[in-house]
Amino acid sequence: MTDRTRESGRLDAGELRRRTADLLVSCPPAETAPLDFLRARFDAGLAWVHFPQGLGGLDAPRALQVVVDAELEAAGAPDNDPRRIGIGLGMAAPTILRFGTDEQKRRFLRPLWTGEEVWCQLFSEPGAGSDLAALATRAVRDEDGTGWVVDGQKVWTSGAHQARWAILIARTDPELPKHRGITYFVCDMTDPGVEVRPLRQITGEAEFNEVFLTGVRIPDAHRLGAVGEGWKVAQTTLMNERVAIGGARQPREGGMIGVAARAWRERPGARTHDLHQRLLRHWVDAEVARLTGERLRQQLAKGHPGPEGSGMKLAFARLAQQISGWEVEFLGEDGLAYDDWTLRRPEGVDFTGRQAGYRYLRAKGNSIEGGTSEVLLNIVAERVLGLPPEPRTDKDAAWKDLPR
Positions marked catalytic: 241
Angle at 95 between CA 195 and CA 251, to 5 degrees: 100
Which ranges in 163-254 belong to alpha helices (H)? 230-246
Angle at 135 between CA 129 and CA 239, to 5 degrees: 60
Maximum separation of any 2 CA atoms in the chain, in Å: 73
Residues 272, 275, 280, 281, Cα dihedral to 10°:
150
Closest CA to 331 of 397, 263, 241: 263
Tell how strand 119-122 and strand 165-171 pair up: parallel
Residues 56/108, Cβ–Cβ less than 8 Å: no
Angle at 368 between CA 387 and CA 290, to 5 degrees: 70
- Gap between the Cα atoms of 128 and 137, Å rounded: 10
The DSSP 8-state label assigned to residue 398 in this structure reads B
Residues 98/236, Cβ–Cβ less than 8 Å: yes
Residues 161/345, Cβ–Cβ less than 8 Å: yes
Which ranges in 247-307 belong to alpha helices (H)? 255-266, 273-300
Neighbours of 148 (CB within 10 A): 23
Residues contacting residue 142 through CB under 8 Å, at least 6 positions apart? 148, 149, 217
Residues 154/137, Cβ–Cβ less than 8 Å: yes
30 — phi, psi (to 5°)? Answer: -70, -20
- Gap between the Cα atoms of 217 and 141, Å rounded: 10
Residues 85/118, Cβ–Cβ less than 8 Å: yes
- Gap between the Cα atoms of 309 and 297, Å rounded: 10
- Gap between the Cα atoms of 13 and 24, Å rounded: 16
